Structure 1
Amino acid sequence: MTTAIATEASAPAAIHSSRTKLAQAAASSAVPLNHTFPNSYKDDLAVHTLQVSPEVGHARYLDASLPYVPVFEEQYGPEVSSSLQTKYYTLTESGQAGIEAATDSLHALFVQATEHVLLHQEALAPYFHIPAALWPRIQHSWAHHKNDTISGRLDFALTDQGTKVYEYNADSASCLMECGYTQDAWSKAAGLGSIGRSNSATLFSQLTAAWKGKNVQGTLHLLCDDDPEERYHSLYMKAAAEAAGIPCTLVVGVQELHYDEDGVTILDGQNHPVRNVWKTWAWQTVISQYEAGNGAASSGHVQVMDVMLHPSVRVFEPLWTVLPSSKAILPILSQLAPDNPYLLRSTFDAADIATFKGGYVAKPVMGRTGANDQLYSNC
């Protein structure tokens, strides 16, 4: 049976979703909440209509010499705007400060909740629908690779009551290139440079600093699926890792990967050993492959799970991030921090639903990208 959780619906004014980046190692404990912390509200975010001339709208605005740009343009085209009327968003200074405060506090709280789950594994593991045989690996990942994190994404709603978090994609967060490069280049090309400042101009340097702190020995293999978004996302991360002095190889798909003659070490297409991996593949993909194969490693043909679960491969983001990325963590957060102003109350217990004002969202624990989410009204 698939477990579902219920999350109290945010206020009707919660119409905007904001995505915030992290590029630092995991904190060790939660930051105590102080209600004087800055916060972000619905009115801090504004949408504007922009009329551009044909000359501006049809101009190419990205630097095609950057390795990730041609792939991005393959997906979205090279023009500033396909229409001469477009939109852009602004966020107030106080709103930006509020999002940063919420990000720091919530990241620490999600990490604290992860530790709580691992300390109470027997009671809480069933909620996560992770094969029992993988829990020792998760415990090992937490004990030995707790700080092997590079980036994550918190998904927020800005409401009249302040910032509310929907979930934490701590495993395979995307949108790095858009936040760290594309939106700033677009703003400049569209003539918006005098309106404000970038809220993510330092993202690339933060990613580079994060890689410098990981002491990666040897080549970093960046694994992604053969999808334009995953490829330009991977190339952007590759550029950040290379700026940190790490030799990198991009691997699209897993077809070129194979075992050595002893059937132990995984090699790339150039017969170089794969020891360090950053990936766009979600750990949920690994879990699905693991369950389908009853936990057995592939014979001959290398699968994603063979790479990411290989005992000699160091993976960024590490296996333990499957826990804060799971929707099963949300009710646990509500139990650990019931008065946290950034949280929407969540529960596994259907009896709690009647106390949710206005309505709630039922989400499958293993769902992704909003699949099978259901909205209910208590009105």
Structure 2
Amino acid sequence: MQRRTIEPRPGWQQTVEAQGLVYPLTRQADGTLTPYWDESAYYEFGLPEIEALEDVVAELHRMCLTAAEHIVTTGRLADLGITDPRVAEAVAEAWRRRDELPSVYGRFDLRYDGTGPAKMLEYNADTPTSLVEAASPQWFWMEERFPGADQWNSLHERLVDAWRKQATLLPPGSPLHFAHSSADELGEDLMTVAYLKETAEQAGLETDWLSVEEIGWDPLSERFVDNRLRFIRSCFKLYPWEWLTSDRFAGHVLDTLDNGGGTGTTLWIEPAWKMLLSNKALLAILWELFPGHPNLLPAYLDGPRELARTMGWVAKPLLGREGEGVTVHPRGSAFVPAEEPCCYQELAPLPAFDGNHVVLGAWVVRDEPAGLGIRESSGLITDEYARFLPHVIR
């Protein structure tokens, strides 16, 4: 694994925007604009490295499914902050019927420096973004800059195949709706949903889309409807389940939830059981089930334990996103319990390449490793100011 500098292509911004990356710049806290898509450098891997990372991701995914089974069968959903009995039962039932429910994709965030084993930092299996740039612009960048090279990137083909293979699980006679939140001002959610919609169409599915805010409730039929007053039978939503089950429509969501078996009137993708994998409490439960595993970091729910005197720790809110609420505590720091439930994970500083802290985003599509996206940050926390860099395989 090497970081290489390179001259950006002339007109790179217009090029990646035409490929769906309509958010190529990031507005910094001081108001200045800097590249989010950063092709002034790239990462180079050897094929054995990538094959080993694929094996790690496949194993981590299997371990996460084992942990999900443990959480449900032992009744530990409260450890994830899922204390509403109706929500807990919906998640558990979705897990039990998971073979009847479509599930598409997720993204592991990994610490890896090219030498030691990759370490799992977290798993976003409900609403992961950075998909568009990983699947499309970085592939076209490679074809233009390094013709004949390769890349860990089968995302597009696997997504199309995932929709095709799961088409029979969708309710017949109505389009698969795709929904994003209009509160997203950058266009990242919009384009992620648009790209997934395109892959579904290439799989032969009938689709439509709208914003989450446009989804309506028909009190006469007691069903969700779109902005053309059609019943919403199935919907991919880039909207976290913890919001879907707590906003003002939460009662209707639970009343009409299609969790397989012909019950309910609306099927949501990703399914509710993905709440088990996108919660940071999963990290602590994995460490309980697989203590000492080379691809895991020690993690606990009741405090940092021995981490306070050994490596230090990172406190992660159970439902935080893009580094929000994450705090770093070096070895010897005094432990003060957080105001909200957290997972306390061993501090494993992100490796620095030319002063840039890098995290690998490894994609999974329908239980199979599918590709790689790389983000860099100036600090130890990968936040909304991180940059995306492409990669190649030597």
Q: Same fold (TM over 0.5)?
A: yes
Q: Which residue of 2 aligns with 1:219?
A: 175
Q: Which moved more, 1:93-102 or 1:180-189?
A: 180-189
The answer on whether the counterparts of 2:24 and 2:36 sit within 8 Å (CA) in structure 1 is no
Is residue 47 of structure 2 the alignment partner of residue 88 of structure 1? no
SS in 2 for 1:350: coil
Residue identity matched to 2:193: S
**Equivalent residue number for residue 157 of structure 2:** 205
1:188 aligns with 2:143: yes
Q: CA deviation at 1:132?
A: 2.5
Q: Out of 201, 221, 230, which is 1:272 matched to?
A: 230
Distance 1:307 1:48, change over 3 A: farther
Correspondence list, 1:48-59, <5 A: 48-52=4-8, 56-57=10-11
**Cα 1:339/1:85, change in 2 over 3 Å:** closer
Q: For the Cα contact (< 8 Å) 1:51–1:84, is it kept in 2?
A: no
The alignment yields a C-alpha RMSD, in angstroms, of: 2.8
Q: CA offsets per residue over residues 85-137 of structure 1, 9 Å max, x none?
A: 8111222212211211111101111011001000011xx22211112221111
1:274/1:313 contact within 8 Å kept: yes
State the alpha-carbon separation in 2 of the partners of residues 261 and 85 from structure 1.
51
For 2:164, give the aligned amino acid: K
Are residues 1:76 and 2:24 paired? yes
Looking at structure 2, the residues matched to 308 and 222 of structure 1 have their Cα atoms a distance apart, in angstroms, of: 17
Q: 1:15 aligns to what?
A: none
Change (3 A) 1:136 1:188: same
Rounded Cα–Cα distance in structure 1 between residues aligned with 2:67 and 2:226? 37
Task: Tell me which residue corresponds to 1:173.
Answer: 128
User: 1:85/1:180 Cα in 2 relative to 1: closer, same or farther (>3 Å)?
Assistant: closer
Q: What's the TM-score, normalizing by structure 1? A: 0.74
Q: Partner of 1:126 in structure 2?
A: 78
Pick closer, same or farther for the CA change 1:193–1:269 going to 2, 3 Å. same
Task: Provide, for residues 284-338 of structure 1, a one-character-per-residue CA deviation record: whole Å limited to 9, x for no partner.
Answer: 2124326xx8x644xxxxxx88887893111111001101110111111001111
More strand by share: 2
Q: Which moved more, 1:134-143 or 1:145-154?
A: 145-154
Higher mean displacement: 180-189 or 148-157 = 180-189
1:340-373 CA distance string (max 9 Å, x none): 2110011123372347632111122232222221
- 2-structure distance, mates of 1:128, 1:308: 21
Q: Structure 2 length as normaliser, TM-score?
A: 0.71
Identity of aligned residues (%): 23
Confirm or deny that 1:289 pairs with 2:237: no
User: What residue in structure 1 maps to residue 95 of structure 2?
Assistant: 142
1:244 correspondence with 2:199: no
For residues 193 and 376 of structure 1, what CA distance do their matches in structure 2 show? 45
Structure having the larger proportion of residues in helix? 1
Worse-matched range after superposition: 239-248 or 368-377: 368-377
Cα deviation, residue 277, structure 1: 0.9
Q: What is residue 188 of structure 2 aligned with on the other side?
A: 229
Number of equivalences = 309
1:210-257: CA deviation from partner (whole Å, max 9, x where unpaired): 1111112331000101231011111110011011111000112322x3
- Unaligned runs of 5+ residues in structure 1 are 1-44, 298-303
- Kept in 2, the 8 Å contact 1:208–1:241? The answer is yes
Per the alignment, in what secondary structure is the counterpart of residue 254 of structure 1? helix
8 Å Cα contact 1:58/1:82 also seen in 2: no
Alignment of 1:40-55 (within 5 A): 45-52=1-8
Query: Are residues 234 and 111 of structure 1, via their aligned partners in 2, closer, same or farther at CA, if it must alter by over 3 Å?
Result: same
Of residues 303, 312, 330, the one that matches 1:359 is: 312
Q: Which residue number in structure 1 is paired with residue 106 of structure 2?
A: 152
Q: Which amino acid aligns with 1:357?
A: T
Most deviating of 240-249 and 355-364: 355-364
Spell out, residue by residue over 1:267-292, the C-alpha distance to the aligned partner (whole angstroms, 9 max, x if none): 212222101111111112124326xx
CA distance in 2, matches of 1:176, 1:85: 17
Q: Does the aligned pair in 2 maintain the 1:165–1:342 contact within 8 Å?
A: yes
What letter is aligned with 1:315?
W
**Which stretch of structure 1 is more off in the superposition, 217-226 or 317-326?**
217-226
Question: Distance between the aligned counterparts of 1:313 and 1:360, measured in 2?
Answer: 41
Query: Which residue does the alignment assign to 1:113?
Result: 67
Match of 2:128, SS?
A: coil
